[in-house]
Structure 1
Amino acid sequence: MDAPEVAATYAKVDRRIIPFLFLCYILAYLDRVNIGFAKLQMAQDLALGDAAFALGAGIFFLGYFCFEVPSNLLLRRFGARRWIARIMVSWGLVSAATLFVTNEAEFYAMRFILGLTEAGFFPGVIYYLTLWYPSERRATRLSWFVSAVALAGVIGNPLSGLIMDLCSGLGGLAGWQWLFLLEGLPSVAVGIWVLFYLDSSIAEARWLSPAERALLAGRIAAEERDKPATRLSDAFKCGKVYALCAVYFTLTLGLYGIAFWLPTTIKALGVSGYLQIGLVSALPYGVAVLGMLLICRHSDRTGERRWHYAFTMGLGALGLVLSGLCADQPVLAILFLSLGTLGTIGAMPLFWPIPAAFLGGTAAAAGIGIINSIGNLGGYVGPNLPIWARRFSDSPQVALDLIALALLAGVALLLAIPRR
């Protein structure tokens, strides 16, 4: 086929699967981080201090870590359609059920179980995209998918604020209880939809013509032939996989260190009212969407990943440091927080084509699962880092500087990993 027909075929795939996966990830991210908004009421109702909140926010990732690799292997065995549906329905039910917690122990338990149920979704989708797109097309598609994180902030933060403003006291439930219920049940509905909409492989896609399926499958097969033969055990023995775990750890440390504390940070800058806090906290995510799409498009055009990642994370580190220095100037502080958010969110789609470029087959599923499970432990450290930093200084600047240093350390490690 000539180039126009190739472009038309991939555009058809884009229209079919990317918007749907985008919707799924918006729901996943909302159910993961809406705890940051719920804290504004929940902390007082359940007598949760900042340290208890940070532990509960981070303990999600311990549950996530426990089941991540097995989940990704089960996805490869049972197919994306059935397994992603299972993940979404179960996490939606658990997230909605968080409205019933009444004390600190129950809060910790529900967050841990939520991590168990959601484990495998993100790396499963990353692996799923490797079944459809060759490496040179992935960063842009990943940026479209990962931009759901930013759009979840753009849409979800004002929505969360609106729910808490309008529903507080309705039916005898607090605003934070309505928040978990109304943002959890849509995941159940979309999870059921997955069973009827998503195809587990190119071969199952009846919405493609035989010629289009052959084109897509041929390009994936050609790329797989260029990779060294890999087995499941290769992923566990590969030193590069564990180095990438450390790089991704620094990324998630920054991402969730920002996400879980952003509503509290915005409130501390003098913004009042749940809806107003939601609208202002949407701004950093809006900046992240635009910047990420531009950077990732350029990365795909040039085929270069590492220096684009370094540039993006460098911007993030700079933004975090400057936001702390400008804490007494709210407009500048929010502007630099936007830069910090762009750095962490924008780096995600630049990172994931790297492991997929040298792992194939079952090793790819396991390797992506290992990197995501170990790397996501940064999501435990990020929310807790401001609490730990208070032992040494009362200044919020210390936590921001530590997160910035972690981002730069991840950049240095990635650039040190041999390309071959």
Structure 2
Amino acid sequence: METKTLDGVESARRPADSFEAATYNKVGWRLIPFLLLCYVVAYLDRVNVGFAKLQMLQDLNLSETVYGLGAGIFFIGYFLFEVPSNVILHRVGARIWIARIMVTWGVISAAMMFVTSATSFYVLRFLLGVAEAGFFPGIILYLTYWYPAERRGRMTALFMTAIALSGVIGGPLSGWIMHSFAGVNGLKDWQWLFILEGLPSIIMGIVTFFYLDDRIAHAKWLTPQEKALLERNIVAENAGKQDLEIGAVFTDPRVWLMSLIYFSFVMGLYGVSFWLPTIIKATGVKDALQIGLLTAIPFGFGVVAMVLVSRSADRSRERRWHIAIPALLGAAGLVLSAVWGQNTGLAMAALTLATMGILTTLPLFWSLPTAFLAGAGAAAGIALINSLGNLAGFVSPFLVGWLKDLTQSTNTGMYLLAASMVLGALLTLSVPARLVNK
């Protein structure tokens, strides 16, 4: 009898295998849809400023450089508080800490409606980064508590489809809010955008406190036999990993290489996330709702690419080429989006290729550091890699904004992001296969 699991794997082997598949299927349906939904609302709050920009800059008389700096300064706060936040999560548990993060960032995101100047824009974006610090690496760490490496890649990919889904959902939603709420109760369209997209984070934060279980042992919805199986697999995997002291993480060359690889890929991610509406508008599409609908197309294809490539990587237990090839395709898409920038159809095809490639690299990347980190070292190491990598979220929008003010075009910025994706691919191939192909 075959058992269909959340990650698409079927088991038709001996009863023990079927029991294991059924157990992981149970865990997957309990955790992954909920975590995915949390990340969708998180990512909406992070990047909806890209839609607010379409009208906010004109209303507040702000330049493209100010926008790029404000969009990116989020990641300075994120960087400064990422490692301590993840260490706290490892000590107090995901349930309390993830709930705290979500409620805090929802409140600050909604407060973006009060922006009146460049200074208030910078301050609130910085505080939003502080509030969200620890969420994403906390979830990556949380998944290591439940899944061994041969299953974790698919689960991470399913969780991270939230990035693409937030584009599929958030683009049309943001466009509709700005199209429909302009002037309602005397508020601007972008003010309504921040209010209405901040509320779901607060609600999900409250739900998280009651829904998540910190560890396998705390899960009342699992039988003793299921808990024993899951914990046995985690113990067996961690036996081959290094539980580095927190201080040693900062001097481990592998951690710094991983940080540089992730930085390269995040450059591409936030180049697309923060500038996609602007690029589409530059092709001749002016209506906010139409722009929102068009942004859903690249992200929709991105979901499919993330899931299919991650399954292939887990089945073959090959990581490096499954990361490098999508990164190179993403770079090609970015270049072509600049070349075809005056033709909406061709530009959308190029942006779709770019988005598919960039998004596919992200979940698969996390199979690299989690292959050699465990325990408190994993908490600090994952957070350090994520925080350093996400500094690209500051660098990328700022440089693209500065280059756009300088050249009156986003083309040079797209070439820069493409080069970053190529660098990430080459660095990935420099990682020894024996370290990560598990």
| TM-score of the aligned structures, taking structure 1 as reference length | 0.98
Pair 1:239 & 2:259 matched: no
Pair 1:363 & 2:377 matched: yes
* 1:7 counterpart (21, 39, 59): 21
* 1:110 counterpart (124, 143, 161): 124
Match of 1:208 in 2: 222
1:233 to partner: Cα distance: 2.5
Q: Which moved more, 1:240-249 or 1:267-276?
A: 267-276
1:222-270 Cα distance to aligned partner (Å, 9 max, x none): 0011223432223122101011111111111110011101111111111
1:112-156 Cα distance to aligned partner (Å, 9 max, x none): 000000000000000000000000111111111110100100011
For residue 368 of structure 2, give the secondary structure of its aligned residue in structure 1. Answer: helix
1:277-314 Cα distance to aligned partner (Å, 9 max, x none): 10011111011111111111101111111110001101
Judging changes above 3 Å, is the alpha-carbon distance between structure 1 residues 296 and 270 closer, same or farther for their aligned structure 2 residues? same
Output the amino acid matched with 2:30. R
1:165 to partner: Cα distance: 1.0
Pair 1:258 & 2:258 matched: no
* 2:398 counterpart (384, 398, 419): 384
For residue 2 of structure 1, give the secondary structure of its aligned residue in structure 2. Answer: helix
Alignment of 1:285-300 (within 5 A): 285-300=299-314
* 1:350 counterpart (364, 378, 381): 364
Answer yes or no: is the 8 Å Cα contact 2:270–2:393 preserved in 1. yes
What is the CA–CA distance in structure 2 between the aligned matches of 1:258 and 1:340, rounded to whole Å? 8
Unaligned 5+ segments in structure 1 are none
Answer yes or no: is the 8 Å Cα contact 2:68–2:402 preserved in 1. no
Pair 1:159 & 2:210 matched: no
* 2:46 counterpart (25, 28, 32): 32
Pair 1:223 & 2:229 matched: no
| TM-score of the aligned structures, taking structure 2 as reference length | 0.94
Match of 1:70 in 2: 84
Match of 1:307 in 2: 321
Answer yes or no: is the 8 Å Cα contact 1:235–1:359 preserved in 2. no
Match of 2:135 in 1: 121
* 2:186 counterpart (168, 172, 184): 172
For residue 237 of structure 1, give the secondary structure of its aligned residue in structure 2. Answer: coil
What is the CA–CA distance in structure 2 between the aligned matches of 1:124 and 1:24, rounded to whole Å? 12
For residue 206 of structure 1, give the secondary structure of its aligned residue in structure 2. Answer: coil
1:170-229 Cα distance to aligned partner (Å, 9 max, x none): 111111111000000110111000011000100000000000000000000000112234
1:69-90 Cα distance to aligned partner (Å, 9 max, x none): 0000000011000000000000
What is the CA–CA distance in structure 2 between the aligned matches of 1:142 and 1:229, rounded to whole Å? 21
Judging changes above 3 Å, is the alpha-carbon distance between structure 1 residues 27 and 208 closer, same or farther for their aligned structure 2 residues? same
Output the amino acid matched with 1:239. P
Output the amino acid matched with 1:270. G
Give the alignment's Cα RMSD to 1 decimal: 1.2
Output the amino acid matched with 1:266. I
Match of 1:135 in 2: 149
What is the CA–CA distance in structure 2 between the aligned matches of 1:396 and 1:121, rounded to whole Å? 31
1:168 to partner: Cα distance: 0.8
Pair 1:400 & 2:376 matched: no
Identity level (%): 53
Judging changes above 3 Å, is the alpha-carbon distance between structure 1 residues 270 and 59 closer, same or farther for their aligned structure 2 residues? same
Output the amino acid matched with 1:384. F
What is the CA–CA distance in structure 2 between the aligned matches of 1:262 and 1:322, rounded to whole Å? 14
Answer yes or no: is the 8 Å Cα contact 1:231–1:361 preserved in 2. no
Pair 1:325 & 2:339 matched: yes
* 2:74 counterpart (60, 76, 99): 60
What is the CA–CA distance in structure 2 between the aligned matches of 1:380 and 1:80, rounded to whole Å? 27
1:326-365 Cα distance to aligned partner (Å, 9 max, x none): 1122101111101111111111110001101101100000
What is the CA–CA distance in structure 1 between the aligned matches of 2:343 and 2:78, rounded to whole Å? 38
Match of 2:199 in 1: 185
Answer yes or no: is the 8 Å Cα contact 2:182–2:188 preserved in 1. yes
For residue 260 of structure 2, give the secondary structure of its aligned residue in structure 1. Answer: helix
Unaligned 5+ segments in structure 2 are 1-14
What is the CA–CA distance in structure 2 between the aligned matches of 1:7 and 1:134, rounded to whole Å? 13
1:24 to partner: Cα distance: 0.3
Alignment of 1:265-280 (within 5 A): 265-280=279-294
What is the CA–CA distance in structure 2 between the aligned matches of 1:271 and 1:391, rounded to whole Å? 20
